[in-house]
Chains A and B, each alone.
Chain A
Amino acid sequence: MIINGVYIDDTYAEAFGMKATRIVITADNLTWAKHAANAAFGFATSVIACGCEAGIERELSPEETPDGRPGVAGLLFAVSTKELAKQLERRVGQCVLTCPTTAVFAGCEGEESLPLGKNLRYFGDGWQMSKLIAGRRYWRIPVMDGEFLAEETTGLMRSVGGGNFLVLARSRSRALAACEAAVDAILRVPGAIAPFPGGVVRSGSKVGSKYKALPASTNDAFCPTLRGVAKTELSPGVDAVLEIVIDAVTDADMRVAMKAGMDAVCGIGAAGGIVRLSAGNYGGKLGQFHYRLREILA
């Protein structure tokens, strides 16, 4: 398959079932809501060492938030409910509770729930107050600028993490420009985030390493500097590869997000220095979800 001069590899992205939640952070203005969200969702690029993958899903107008203030919706993904609960509580406790004027609310429903303000309320040292509004419990925790308002729980969703595609281009600058366009398109899809810095990854990995302690190491087959000394997947004319990793609330969201991203790259096309689109997988044995690039783009 070739789209606008871009060759689409006959391969698939291998993704995993993950546990996810959505929270809504509001503040007196969008700037402070984003300060809290950027802190809470920072250092959350990969579950390998961050505990969770997270990012801002979208900005919310005052009409869309529970307390009528501007805010952001964010998604957090982890490999287990226990780890997700731990990360959620730590990040909200250290980054949202601490941030001036903020409040935090559940952003989704779920069969199961995760503690949001349920344990953070004890920061109130006995002065916290509970409010039950429309069947939902909120905690009012006294802090130095007034009160931190936190909904007691948020929902738990079964979701998909690790969807990806690789952009192979004639130069690093061309690959980066295409990825920037792809990330812009992906972040317009509700229910999807690209958790890496700017949504783009340069350090794609393979399973295993020559060093016994490491479970993963650099994906040498896609490293242009190793052509000639290692087995390469790079076709002639490809001088740089960048990867986009996507986490999504549902399988359908993942497909929409991957298509949006790849369409944006193909739109730039060969004229913009894009040579191929490929994807990362582990032979299909590890992940429950397989996203065939040609099927998504068909």
Chain B
Amino acid sequence: MTTLSLRAVPNGRVDMTGVLPETLAGRRADDIAKQIIHLAGNPMMLGDLFEVDVDETDMLVIRTDSDRLDCLGKGMSTGSVRIEGPAGHYAAQGMRGGELDIHGDAGDGAANGMMGGLLRIRGNAGDWLGAALIGDRTGMAGGVVAVEGNAGDRLGDRMRRGLILVRGQAGDACGARLLAGTLVVAGGCGTLPGSGLRRGSLILGRSPEAIPLSFNDSGRVDLSYLGLLHRHAESFLPGLLPASTQAHRYMGDLAFGGKGEILVLA
């Protein structure tokens, strides 16, 4: 479909809102170049920052060596976007469908308020991945996020629904205030995992340094649900989850109803 190649590192943060497969489809290169984006809050044309090439493929490719492109895939509902390089903050914010594939790191607030689709991050993700939009009461409400590297602090904060898979490690307060949904972190996490967790599952490949005191130990359990999840996760991050259905279960957060769980697979 379209390839956008960043001409030079911008001298401020760029808001890429509206640069989506659904908005660019069927348009000529000169028309696309006139699309308005914002650099440091000031409107400017897409063509001023990017070289625009239109081809026969049905994918939007954005080539960048700067991490200042924010809101990539924001509100996206269909199609495929590949980011060749790092993404800025708020990638896949409010995303409803389609696939956003970031071949690099992602900044903070990725997948905030995401409702559907697939976000792949081949590098590391910043803080607040899958959390709520600023001012919202609930975080990610659907879709799948697959991170090959590590994730920052407050991963999945207030997440409502959906699946987040992280092959590496997560920072502190992973799954904090989780309302529902499933969060899988294969490489372990920092302090206070699941703090304020109401429902939902925080699945850890490695035992954390400490389970919060407001979780109670349910012991080792055999959950056929893990077999189902294993098969589903294989299509996004092969080898992330073991085929075993055994886990050590901690129920909590008892200060917030106690209907959630931390499952430690190791």
- Which A residues lie at the B interface, using CB under 8 A? 26, 66-69, 101, 103, 127, 129-134, 138, 140, 145-147, 149
On chain A, the residues within 8 Å of B222 by CB distance are 145-146
Are A66 and B231 in touch, CB under 8 angstroms? Answer: yes
B229 CB–A CB distance under 8 Å? yes
Q: Nearest chain-A residue to B200 (Cβ)? A: A129
Q: Nearest chain-A residue to B251 (Cβ)? A: A127
A83 to B86, CA, bound (A): 57
Q: Taking chain A's interface residues, is the majority helix, strand, or loop, or is none over half, making it mixed?
A: strand
Q: A129-B199, A132-B161, A133-B232 given as contacts; is B227 within 8 A of A67 (CB)?
A: yes
- For the complex formed, measure the closest distance between the CB of B145 and the CB atoms of chain A, giving whole angstroms: 14
A101 to B227, CA, bound (A): 12
Kindly list 13 other residue pairs between chains A and B, CB separation below 8 angstroms, not including A66-B228, A69-B224.
A68-B230, A127-B259, A129-B201, A129-B259, A130-B180, A131-B182, A131-B225, A131-B229, A132-B161, A138-B225, A138-B228, A147-B224, A149-B223
A132 to B161, CA, bound (A): 8
Residues 175-197 of B contacting A (Cβ, < 8 Å): 180, 182
Residues 141-159 of B contacting A (Cβ, < 8 Å): 142
Interface size on B, residues (CB 8 A): 22
Are A68 and B231 in touch, CB under 8 angstroms? Answer: yes
Q: Nearest chain-B residue to A66 (Cβ)? A: B228
A268 to B30, CA, bound (A): 77
Our pick among B162, B180, B221, B227 for the contact of A69 (Cβ within 8 Å) is B227
On chain B, the residues within 8 Å of A103 by CB distance are 224
A149 to B223, CA, bound (A): 8
Q: A131-B182, A132-B161 given as contacts; is B223 within 8 A of A146 (CB)?
A: yes
Q: A131-B182, A132-B161 given as contacts; is B232 within 8 A of A140 (CB)?
A: no
- Which B residues lie at the A interface, using CB under 8 A? 142, 161-163, 180, 182, 199, 201, 221-225, 227-232, 243, 259, 261
Q: Nearest chain-B residue to A101 (Cβ)? A: B224
On chain A, the residues within 8 Å of B231 by CB distance are 66-68
A127 to B225, CA, bound (A): 15
21 A-B pairs within 8 Å (CB atoms) are namely A66-B231, A67-B225, A68-B227, A68-B230, A101-B224, A103-B224, A130-B180, A131-B229, A132-B142, A133-B229, A133-B232, A138-B225, A140-B223, A140-B225, A146-B223, A146-B224, A147-B221, A147-B223, A147-B225, A149-B224, A149-B228
